[in-house]
C-alpha cells in the first residue's frame, strides 16, 4: 500500500452494479438489518458523552460541553469505525456473517479509531458551543456566521475521508490525515456532496431535539453514513483499489478450495 493516495489512477468499473437510488434501495433490501444493528450500537457508544455535552450546553458551561464532545468521540469512535466497516462491506457487496465481521472490525480498529474519534468529538463540541454563543449574542456579524458554516463544511468533509480510512488501512494518524486532505481536494465534488448530506442531517436532527429523538433511534448513524459513503466510495475505490483487492481475495479463496477438493486418483 502506497503511503500517498494514487488519485490519478482509474479503477476498473464494476459491471452490472446499480447506482443512485436503485443502488440505495438494493442495499436497504439486502443489508438494512446489519446497518441498523451497527447504527444502534453506535448511538449507544456516543450516548454518555453526548448527554454530558448537552448538560454543558444547558448549564452554559463551555468546558463541560467540549469535554462531553471529546468523551463522546473517544468512546463512540470504535463503534463508528465498525459502523463504517459494515457500510463499506455492503458497498463492496462483500459476503459475511455480520456479527463475525463486526467483532473482527472491532478487534482490528478500536485502538486506531480512538484519537480520530476524540478529534471529531472535540470539533463537534467546540463548534456546537460556538454556534450557541453566536445565536444567543444576537449581534453576530454575518462574516462570522459564514466562517462558521465554512468551517463546519470543511471539517465534515475532512473527517468523512479520515474516518473512512480507519477500517480500510492500517496507517498512522498523520498519514491518514494527509490522505484525507489529498482526497478532500482530489474528489472535491464528492466531498462537497457528502459534507452537505452529513451537515444537513445532523444539523437539523440536533437543532430540533428532543423532537427528533425518534429520528435518531430509527435512522441514527446508518442513514447519513450510508448515503455519504455511497458518494465517497468511488474515490476510496480509486485510491485503495477496494474492488481489485476483494476480487483478488475471492480468486485466491476459490483456488484454495479447488485445490483442497481436487480429486485424488492415486489409489493403491
Render pLDDT for 152-191 as a digit per residue (tens, 0 to 9): 889 999 999 999 999 999 899 999 999 999 999 999 999 9
Q: Residue ranges of the domains in the chain? A: 21-249
Render pLDDT for 132-149 as a digit per residue (tens, 0 to 9): 787 777 777 788 878 888
SS3 state at 166:
coil
pTM value?
Answer: 0.84
Angle at 38 between CA 226 and CA 36, to 5 degrees: 65
Buried b (16+ CB within 10 A) or exposed e, 108-120: bbbebbbebbbbb
Cα-based distances in Å from 62 to 6, 86, 213, 228: 41, 34, 24, 30
pLDDT beneath 50: ranges in the chain: 1-4, 6-13
Predicted pLDDT of residue 224: 95
Amino acid at each position: 500500500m502506497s503511503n500517498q493516495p494514487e488519485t490519478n489512477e482509474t479503477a476498473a468499473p464494476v459491471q452490472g452494479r446499480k447506482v443512485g437510488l436503485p443502488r440505495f434501495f438494493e442495499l436497504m433490501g439486502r443489508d438494512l438489518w446489519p446497518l441498523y444493528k451497527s447504527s444502534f450500537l453506535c448511538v449507544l457508544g456516543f450516548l454518555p458523552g453526548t448527554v454530558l455535552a448537552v448538560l454543558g450546553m444547558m448549564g452554559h458551561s463551555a468546558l463541560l460541553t467540549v469535554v462531553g464532545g471529546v468523551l463522546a468521540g473517544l468512546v463512540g469512535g470504535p463503534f463508528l469505525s465498525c459502523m463504517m466497516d459494515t457500510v463499506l462491506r455492503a458497498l463492496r457487496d462483500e459476503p459475511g456473517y455480520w456479527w463475525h465481521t463486526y467483532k473482527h472490525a472491532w478487534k482490528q480498529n478500536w485502538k486506531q479509531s480512538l484519537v480520530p474519534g476524540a478529534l471529531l468529538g472535540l470539533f463537534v463540541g467546540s463548534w456546537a458551543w460556538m454556534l450557541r454563543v453566536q445565536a444567543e449574542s444576537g449581534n453576530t456579524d454575518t462574516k462570522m456566521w459564514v466562517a462558521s458554516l465554512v468551517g463546519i463544511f470543511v471539517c465534515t468533509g475532512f473527517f468523512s475521508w479520515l474516518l473512512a480510512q480507519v477500517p480500510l488501512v492500517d496507517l498512522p494518524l498523520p498519514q491518514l490525515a494527509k490522505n484525507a486532505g489529498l482526497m478532500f481536494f482530489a474528489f472535491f465534488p464528492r466531498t462537497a456532496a457528502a459534507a452537505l448530506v452529513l451537515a444537513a442531517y445532523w444539523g437539523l436532527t440536533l437543532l430540533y431535539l428532543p423532537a427528533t429523538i425518534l429520528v435518531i433511534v430509527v435512522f441514527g448513524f446508518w442513514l447519513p453514513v450510508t448515503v455519504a459513503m455511497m458518494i465517497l466510495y468511488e474515490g476510496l475505490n480509486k485510491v485503495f483499489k477496494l474492488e481489485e483487492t476483494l476480487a483478488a481475495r475471492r480468486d485466491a479463496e476459490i483456488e484454495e478450495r479447488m485445490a483442497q477438493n481436487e480429486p485424488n486418483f492415486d489409489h493403491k
